[in-house]
Amino acid sequence: MKPAITSMFLLLLLQGCQGPAPEEASGNETQDAGIEIPAIDGDLAVAYRLIEEGDFGPARIRLRGWMDTHGEDARALFLFGLAYHSQRRYARSAEWFRRSLNATPVYPPSAHFLGWSSYYLGDVDTSIKAFGRHIEMTPGEGDSYYGLGLLALDAGDLEEAEARFNDARRLQLDQPDRIDGVSKALVRLAELDELQGNRNAARLHLEEAVKVDPDRVEAWHRLARCCRRMGDESAAVDAEQQHAAALRRNTPRAGFPE
């Protein structure tokens, strides 16, 4: 099973990538929360590489060894959680992310991934708190806004969801390594458009999503549906073909939907 995260995305998180706070972002302004994130190096870097390669057991063994020598450390505890998160074992990963945050309450990656682990467990309250905590630490991190957008959508608060998806889109727009984050946000903005009966706006959002990230499989799927419903059959067929091509380009899913 391949890890469920991209390494570049994680590296950016681990560097505490900071951009503009959403309510202030308008151009090149930035807000620095002043958090220094200790580097993942030495044996921890080796463990991280093992996780990337899907060798979760060996990674955990190495991390245990490291902690036997160095004691509990937010980075090692985070990587322990990351190994479980990559296996989609979210109850376990959430536990390790919590331990990481207990060890170092301002370790942003643990807050972010606790948000996602909790989301996948259906633990709404913890997820909201964790994403919120992550944003407090690194206000420019768009993916946590995206998570909050999904939670708002689940709660039926469409206005809040739209605001958070727009935050996610804006905060990641100028980061070449976050095109997937931009694309995901655009797909969800299109979903809100559809819920509000605005199919034209939905199509525009979806077309932008596939332009930003041609590998965004669900965007092609939704675009095909949208075009068909608008009576544009040729665009629908094209989107279906692109959807199939994107599926072929992407690693097949593990068999159970997540």
Whether the Cβ atoms of residue 185 and residue 146 lie closer than 8 Å to each other: yes
19 by DSSP, 3-state: which? coil
- Among 23, 53, 72, 154, interactor with other proteins by CB under 8 A: 154
Which residue, chain included where needed, has tokens 């469409």?
158
Applying CB under 8 A, among 91, 102, 211, 250 the residue interacting with other proteins is 91
Is position 4 an interface residue for other proteins (rule: CB under 8 A)? no
Of residues 117 and 166, the one with the C-beta less far from other proteins: 117
Instruction: From 203, 239, 238, select the one nearest 221 (Cα to Cα).
Output: 239
Using CB under 8 A as the binding rule, whether residue 129 contacts other proteins is answered as no
Residue 38: both structure tokens together:
């200790």
> Which of the ranges 27-35, 40-48, 65-73, 87-95 carries the binding residues for other proteins, by CB under 8 A?
87-95
Binding span for other proteins by CB under 8 A among 31-39, 62-70, 129-137, 187-195 = 187-195
Q: Name the one residue in this structure whose structure tokens are 């370790």.
A: 107
Asked if 237 is part of the footprint of other proteins (rule: CB under 8 A), the reply reads no
User: How far is Cα of residue 75 from the mean position of the Cα atoms in its chain?
Assistant: 19
Q: Which of 49, 92, 99, 129 binds other proteins (CB under 8 A)?
A: 92
- Residue closer to other proteins, measured from CB, 64 or 229: 229
* 139 and 21 Cβ atoms separated by less than 8 Å: yes
Identified binder of other proteins from the candidate list 63, 222, 239, 242, rule CB under 8 A:
222
Locate 122 and state its tokens: 């259906």
Site for other proteins, residues 19 to 38, rule: CB under 8 A: none
Neighbouring CB atoms inside 10 A of 87's CB total: 18
Dihedral sign for Cα 84, 90, 96, 101, please.
Answer: positive
User: Interface with other proteins by CB under 8 A: which residues?
Assistant: 1, 56, 87-92, 119-122, 124, 150-151, 153-156, 158, 191, 194-195, 217-218, 221-222, 225, 228-229, 243, 253, 255-258
